[in-house]
Homo-oligomer: A and B are copies of this chain.
């Protein structure tokens, strides 16, 4: 099997500042300049002196995770195409690219714009884009980088892209999304073949490959069950790939997979690259699903932490902290204490959490700061403007979360 990507990685660390995406109507008045580069602090600051809630990244754990995934895939036929929706941060995207990732995924057009603005060339937009304004934005990105690609799952959408790309004088790469769990994608088998044929005969677009993202499998509890279902699902995608090739259309890319199935996707022949994201940070949700040899999924270390302060203790046996729904994502489990046992976090509303003591391994008093492992990493990152990366408990710079809020 040959390794395929849309491109080598783009030029790095350039474009310190740039226009922050396309707005509507009066775009210039609505758009704000976005910073991509690290923001140095005047002096190193202890994490314990940060105003809370603050979003921290343990750089040692982050690099462990980056390196471990890189090493794991070095001996595998597939490549890494990490998902930028997790970090929304060109600085971290470049850490992935430096280690050999073949490109970055973006969930939305506005997120992809930030990555391209920051100088990243190979960006795959992983969700369909269907309105004329956004199709024009995708085409505008393709004019800036030939290595931009977008997922499609409808013939009408292919024709719209062809028209827009033709008008703009560019050729756009389209990746056919397969329906893996009823969220997006076209049915596998003949419908997928037909859509590839439509792309093939449509001017100004090219068929760049298939996407088979099995989002429903990433959080299945128990490695064995997850493995069985994942291999089954991805094998069906590989069969569709073969059927498309048999119909006369080469399939250079079959992209999919995620953190929950990274060591299953790696074993399925035919998958060309995996869209891992959460492995960078890990979170409570992922830790709970179980690993290959452990009850806690600890293949990667928790590196994304929320620092919070105990601000009140109205009753015994508990203390109230200053991080609630606006500081930690609340879609699934609550966050967990990072380095204190015998204490659980309970939701306390928009601005508060309640730490309930059972048998705490450390006293927590009003004024104390504690570290939480993020509940769900992606939407937690999206609540903050900056990461506070730290080593030896010291922060020396901030990393702008440049695509924070870019959900369009």
User: Using a CB–CB distance below 8 Å, which chain A residues touch chain B?
Assistant: 23-26, 29-30, 32, 39-43, 45, 49-54, 85, 107-108, 110, 127-131, 133-134, 153-154, 156-157, 177, 179, 182-187, 215, 309-312, 314-315, 318, 320, 322-323, 325-327, 329-331, 347-352, 354, 366-367, 369, 376, 378-379, 382-386, 395, 398, 404-405, 407-408
Contacts and interface: CB of A to CB of B under 8 A. Distances in A.
Contact of A25 (B41, B133, B386): B41
Contact of A367 (B131, B315, B348, B383): B131
A110 B51 contact: yes
A255 to B, nearest CB: 17
- Tell me if A's interface is mostly helix, strand, loop or mixed: loop
A153 B148 CA distance: 55
Contacts of A384: 405
Contacts of A314: 153, 179, 182-187
A404 to B, nearest CB: 8
Nearest to A33: B32
Contacts of A52: 131, 408
Given A49-B133, A385-B405, 14 more contacts: A23-B51, A24-B41, A53-B408, A127-B322, A128-B312, A129-B311, A130-B309, A131-B367, A154-B312, A156-B366, A183-B348, A184-B314, A186-B314, A326-B405
B25 A42 contact: yes
What 3 A-B pairs are tightest by C-beta distance, nearest first? A26-B42, A330-B331, A184-B312
Contacts of A131: 51-52, 309, 367, 369
Contacts of A25: 41-43, 45, 395
Contacts of A395: 25
A318 B408 CA distance: 21
7 contacts: A32-B385, A53-B408, A85-B350, A127-B351, A329-B330, A350-B379, A383-B407
